[in-house]
Structure 1
Amino acid sequence: MGILTSAELNFIVFRYLQESGFIHSAFTLGYEAGIHKGVIDGNLVPPGALITIVQKGLQYIELEANTDENDEDVEKDFAFLEPLEIITKGIEELQQIVKRRKREKIQSDRGKDKGKDKEHKEGQERCPGDSLAGGGPTPMDVCTPAHEISSADVTVLEGHSSEVFACAWSPAGSLLASGSGDSTARIWTIPDGPCGSITQSSPPCVHVLKHFKGRTNEKSKDVTTLDWNGEGTLLATGSYDGQARIWSRDGELKQTLFKHKGPIFSLKWNKKGDFLLSGSVDKTAIVWDTKTWECKQQFEFHSAPTLDVDWRNNNSFATCSTDNMIYVCKIGDQRPVKSFSGHQSEVNAIKWDPTGSLLASCSDDWTAKIWSMKQDKCVFDFKEHTKEIYTIRWSPTGPGTNNPNQQLLLASASFDSTIKLWEVEQGRLLYSLAGHRQPVYSVAFSPGGEYLASGSLDQCLHIWSVKEGKILKTYRGSGGIFEVCWNKEGSKIAACFSNNTVCVMDFRI
C-alpha cells in the first residue's frame, strides 16, 4: 500500500482550497506549509484530487460494510450509506445498518409493485411540465436565458498551465493581462474584429512574463494580482513569492520590488501614477515611489494578513485584513487617519466610490457595509446575504463620473450564489440576482454602468441588465470563473477560468 506523506497531503488540500475558491486560505496554507519549496509537480495532480481520494475511501468503507463473512460476493445494487455515517461509525455498526436497510428495501419494493399500475395511470394524466410532489425547481432555479453566447463567438486564449486567477484590460489599446498559478502573467493583444472563429484562425500575439529565474520546476509562485497604470504603459504584478514586479506593455521586466515577507494579495496604482500600493500576508501595506522604485513608506497597522488595498485619492488609501479591521492611511502620517471596526470576521475587499467619499467593504460575516470619513460607525449595514461575501464593485455612475445622471449602485457577490445590487443614497436593496448555482467570485460593471457581468464556480458568465435586474446573455465555460472584466469601450468581456484558459467575447445587444 502506498503511503501518503504529509507534504503530499498538504499539497492536495492546498489544491482543493484553490479549486473551491478559498483563495486566501489556500495562500495561507501554502505559505505556512512551504508548498512552494516542495518538489510536487502540480500539473500532474488532476483537478478534484482530494475529493476523488475521499470519495474512493468512502466507497471502500461502504463496500466493506456491505460484505460480511458469509457473503461470497457483494450485490451489485448494494445498500448505500450516508457519508456522515461512514465517517462516524465503525464497520460492525455499519454492517448492521446495511442489513436493516436491505430488509426495508425488500418490503418497500413489494409495496411499490402493488401500486405500479395505479401510479402509471396517474402519470399519464399529468401535464408534461408538472413536477411530482416533493420535486420541481427550487427557488434558486432560473429559466434558461433568452440568449446564450455560442462557443463559436468566443476567443479562447490558451497557454497557461494552471488556474488563471486574475485578468485586466489595459486602459489604453487592446491589451489584456492575465495572471496564473503557473508562475507567469501574460499580455495578450486582442484584435479589434469579432471574437470567435475569425480570431481563432490567427492566434493573438502574447508576451509571457515569467516570475522565476533558473529552475523551471519551481511551483506555487502564483501570480495573485495585477494592475495597469493609468496610461496603460506599465503592468504591475503581485506574486505568492512576496515580490511585486513591473513590466512594460511589451513584456519586459522593468523592476522587481523586494520588501514584503509574504504573498502579495493586492496592489493598485494611484490615479496620478507616481505611487504603487501593495498589501501582503506579512500584515503590512507598502507605498512604492514609481520614480525611484524604492519603498516610500511601509504601514504596519494590521495584526493579521492584509487582504485588499484601494486608493481614495493620490495620497491616501484604505486597507483591510483578516483581523476584521479597516484602516484609512495617508502618505507621511505614522498613524491611521481613520479606523473602521464593525465587521465580525475577515474583511475580504474594500472599494472607494468614484468620488472617494464613501468606502464599501465586504466580509466573511455575511455583510457588506458603507463607511464615511465623517463618522466612526458604518453608514449602512447590508445583511441580506446568507453566506460570505467575496467581493464588491461600485457602478461608474453618479456625480463626478462620466454617467452623472444615473444613480450610484454597489454590487456584492457572495458564496450564497447571489449578487445583490444596492442603491446607496437610501441604503436599500434594489435587486437580488439569483442566476448562479455556486459561489460568485467576480462582478464588473460595464463602463456605461448599464450592464453587470458576473462569474461563478458554476462555470457560467452572466451579463445582467442593471435597469431590469435580469440576465441578458450567458456564456457557459468549462471551468470555474475567478474574474471578469470589461474593456474600456464596453465592447468586449474577458473571463479567467480554473481550466487554465482566458475567454474573450463580444458584447452587443
Structure 2
Amino acid sequence: MANMITSEEVNYLIFRYLQESGYTHSAFAFGHESHVYRSNIDGSQIPPGVLLSFLQRGLSYVEIEASLKDRDLKENKDHTGVSSTASVLLDVHRILVSRQALIPPIIAGGGNGAGAAAASNKMAATRNDDAHAANGKTEPLRLASGRESTGARNPFSLSAKAPDVDPELMVNSSDTFVLRAHDKDVFTCSWNPRSSCLATGSADGTVRIWAIPHLFPSASPTAGPAALPALSAPITLHLVNGSVSTKKTSLLKSIECAALDWSPNGLFLCAGVSDGALYVWTETGEPLGTLTKHEAPIFCVKWSPGGAWIASGSVDKSIVLWNAETKTAVRTYKSHEGAVLDVSWLDEKRFASSSCGKTVVVHSVESETPLKIWKGHSNDVNAVRWSPSGTMLASCSDDCSVKLWSLESDTPVATLGLHTKEVCSIAWSPNSADHLLASASFDKTAIVWNVQTRSLVHTLTHKTAVLWVGFNPDGQLIATSTSDRWVFVWSVKDGVLVKAFRAAGDVHDVSWNETGDRLAACLADQTSVVFDALPASSAPIPMDKS
C-alpha cells in the first residue's frame, strides 16, 4: 500500500504554500493555530512548491483513472463511471487551464533561470492576472479627484521585462555572514540603531542577539564564507575571529517570535510573540520583563521616537500602549474590527495603525478615543508609514492600492492605483525633499512614486511577487525581496539593479543597518544572512565601532 500522508504533513504543506505565495499574515496565523512550528518536520529538506506538485500529480492520476474507466465503459457498457469527486476535480482543472490560456503573461521571462521552476510552482495560485490584465487594460494612476495622471507610464506593458542578473552584481560569499543557531524558520530581524548588533526572532521560540564583525571575510587574506557561532543562552560562545561575545538569547518557551524592535537609543529590545506576551531585554540580553495584556498573537511592536512608549498590535484586534520605563500597560485601544497588522508613530504623542478590518486609525497616548478613523480601503490594510515630514500617512492594502492621508482630511488625499494585485509593503525615502514613496506588490513589481507630483518615478520589475521594499538610511538605495528567494538592491537615482543576493531559503524579513551598507535577511532554512549591499563601485561606509 502506498505511503499515507498525515494531517501534520498536510498542515505543513499548506503552511509552506501560504508562505511561498506571500500570504505572510495568513501563514503566521495558520502556523500558530495548527502548531506547525512545533512539528519535527525538517523544512530545509522540502523543496518549494510541493503542495502544488502533489495536487498536479493527483490530477494526473485522476485523469488516468478517468481514461481507464471511460475505456471500461465503452467495452463493458458499465455506467458506474468516474466518481463524482474525480469529475468535479477534472472539471475545475479544465476550466482553470482554459482560463489560463486566455490570459497573456504580463512580465516576460528569461534571465538566468535560477529557481524558475520553483517560482512557477510557488506562484501558480496567484499568477492568473486580474480582469484588467485579461482585458488588456491597466488601471491608471488616480488622484483623489478621480482624474487620471497624464505623467505616469504604464509599468505593466508586455515589453516590460524582469532584470537579468549580471554575475558581476551577485553578492560574493566572502561578503556574507551566515548566522546559524535557530532550529526553525527565522521570521524577523532588527538592527540595533547605535551598534552593529542584529536581533533575530524565530519559530523555535528564541530571540538571538548577534555581534556582527565590522569586516567581511573579503577583507581578510583568507577570504571565504563565514559562519558565526550560535549565541544561545545560557552559555557564552566565541566568534570565529577569536573575540568573546557576551550577547545572550532568551528562551521564549514553545512559542514563536513575530515582531522585534529596538529602542531609539539602542539600549533595549522588545519582542512580540505568538502567546500574546511582550518581552523586553537590555542590549546584552538581560530580561527586564514579560508584559501580558493581549489575548492572541502579537503581529507588530514599535517604540515611540523618544523611547517613552511601546505600542503593540495583536490578532485580538487591540493595541496596547506600554510605559517603557515602568513596563506597565497604560491604555488599550479597540478601534479596529480585525487583527492589527501594523503601527507607525508620528511623534511622541500620536501613532497610526492598520488592520484586517480595512481601517486606518490615528491614536493619541492621552486618550483611547481615536483622533481619526479612515475607511478608504476595501480590504486588509497591510502597512502604514508616516512621511519623514510628518504631514502625510501612506497605507497599502490587499485592495491593490496605496492611499495617502492627511490629518486635515477625513478622506484620502490621493489613491495610487497602478498595482494590479495585493500591496504588502511600503517605505518612504528618508530624504523628505525627494517626496519618494515605494510600494511592493504581488503583481511582481515595486513602484517608486513622487507623492508631490503624484507621478511614477520607477517601476522595478521582478519575476515573482515582491514581498518587501525599503530605502537605505541615506535614501540612495532601495532593496526588495521576492517570493523566489531573491533580495535585490536598486539605485534610487535611475532605477538600475546594482546588487543581487540569492538566498538558500524563503526570505521572511529584510532589514537595513543604520549606516546603510549592509542588509540582513531572515530565511526559512533556519538561518539569517548579513551581506554587503553596496554597489561594487561604492566606497565602503565605516561602521559604528561602539
Sort the TM-score into its range (normalised by shorter chain).
Answer: 0.7 to 0.9
1:85-115 CA distances to partner (integer Å, 9 max, x unpaired)?
Answer: 986338xx99xxxxxxxxxxxxxxxxxxxxx
Q: How big is the shift at 1:501?
A: 1.9
Partners of 2:71 and 2:469 lie apart in 1 by: 59
Partners of 1:469 and 1:357 lie apart in 2 by: 26
Partners of 1:39 and 1:487 lie apart in 2 by: 31
AA of the residue aligned to 1:463: V
1:316 to 350, 353, 368: 350
AA of the residue aligned to 2:497: I
Partners of 1:67 and 1:269 lie apart in 2 by: 64
Corresponding residue SS for 1:28? helix
Q: 1:7 to 1:442 in 2, by over 3 A?
A: same
Give the aligned partner of residue 543 of structure 2: none
Is 1:46 the counterpart of 2:41 in the alignment? no
Corresponding residue SS for 1:165? strand
1:121-151 CA distances to partner (integer Å, 9 max, x unpaired)?
Answer: xxxxxxxxxxxxxxxx963333334522223
Give the aligned partner of residue 109 of structure 2: none
Q: 1:448 to 1:40 in 2, by over 3 A?
A: closer
Task: Select the structure of larger CA radius of gyration.
Answer: 1
Partners of 2:470 and 2:36 lie apart in 1 by: 35
Partners of 1:9 and 1:204 lie apart in 2 by: 34
Q: How big is the shift at 1:28?
A: 3.1
Give the aligned partner of residue 35 of structure 1: 34
AA of the residue aligned to 1:354: P
Partners of 2:68 and 2:329 lie apart in 1 by: 66
Query: How do residues 268-307 of structure 1 correspond to structure 2 at under 5 angstroms?
Result: 268-307=302-341
Q: How big is the shift at 1:280?
A: 0.3
1:442-491 CA distances to partner (integer Å, 9 max, x unpaired)?
Answer: 11211110110111112211111101011011112222222222211122
1:143 to 135, 141, 164: 164
Partners of 1:309 and 1:70 lie apart in 2 by: 61
2:465 to 439, 442, 453: 439
CA contact (8 A) 2:420 2:443 kept: yes
Is 1:246 the counterpart of 2:280 in the alignment? yes
Give the aligned partner of residue 435 of structure 2: 408
Is 1:499 the counterpart of 2:525 in the alignment? yes
CA contact (8 A) 1:417 1:437 kept: yes
AA of the residue aligned to 1:144: V
Is 1:155 the counterpart of 2:177 in the alignment? yes
AA of the residue aligned to 2:215: G
Give the aligned partner of residue 210 of structure 2: 188
Q: 1:188 to 1:87 in 2, by over 3 A?
A: farther
Is 1:224 the counterpart of 2:251 in the alignment? no
| Structure 1 gap ranges (5+) | 72-83, 95-136, 399-405
Partners of 1:38 and 1:448 lie apart in 2 by: 37
TM-score (norm 1): 0.79
Q: 1:303 to 1:68 in 2, by over 3 A?
A: closer
1:340-373 CA distances to partner (integer Å, 9 max, x unpaired)?
Answer: 1110111000011123221100000000011000
| Structure 2 gap ranges (5+) | 73-84, 95-157, 234-248, 539-546
Q: What percent of counterpart residues are identical?
A: 37
Partners of 1:343 and 1:497 lie apart in 2 by: 31
Give the aligned partner of residue 456 of structure 1: 482
1:358 to 379, 383, 392: 392
Give the aligned partner of residue 150 of structure 2: none
Q: How big is the shift at 1:506?
A: 1.7
Partners of 1:480 and 1:8 lie apart in 2 by: 19
Give the aligned partner of residue 370 of structure 1: 404
Give the aligned partner of residue 231 of structure 2: 206
Query: How do residues 248-263 of structure 1 correspond to structure 2 at under 5 angstroms?
Result: 248-263=282-297
Q: 1:337 to 1:199 in 2, by over 3 A?
A: farther
1:301-332 CA distances to partner (integer Å, 9 max, x unpaired)?
Answer: 11111111111111111111111001101012
Q: 1:36 to 1:141 in 2, by over 3 A?
A: closer
Corresponding residue SS for 2:17? helix
AA of the residue aligned to 2:440: A
CA contact (8 A) 2:217 2:226 kept: no
Higher relative contact order (CA 8 A, sep 6+): 2
Q: 1:43 to 1:255 in 2, by over 3 A?
A: farther
* Large movers: runs of 4+ above 4 Å: 1-8, 65-71, 84-87, 195-202
Partners of 1:174 and 1:294 lie apart in 2 by: 30
Q: 1:449 to 1:62 in 2, by over 3 A?
A: same
AA of the residue aligned to 1:396: P
Partners of 2:438 and 2:323 lie apart in 1 by: 32
Q: How big is the shift at 1:68?
A: 6.2
RMSD between aligned residues: 2.8
Give the aligned partner of residue 505 of structure 2: 479
Query: How do residues 50-69 of structure 1 correspond to structure 2 at under 5 angstroms?
Result: 50-65=51-66, 67=68
Judge which range, 236-245 or 204-213, deviates more. 204-213
Is 1:234 the counterpart of 2:259 in the alignment? no
Corresponding residue SS for 1:89? helix
Q: 1:86 to 1:248 in 2, by over 3 A?
A: farther
CA contact (8 A) 2:178 2:226 kept: no
CA contact (8 A) 1:442 1:482 kept: no
Is 1:426 the counterpart of 2:440 in the alignment? no
Query: How do residues 75-94 of structure 1 correspond to structure 2 at under 5 angstroms?
Result: 88-89=89-90
CA contact (8 A) 1:263 1:281 kept: yes
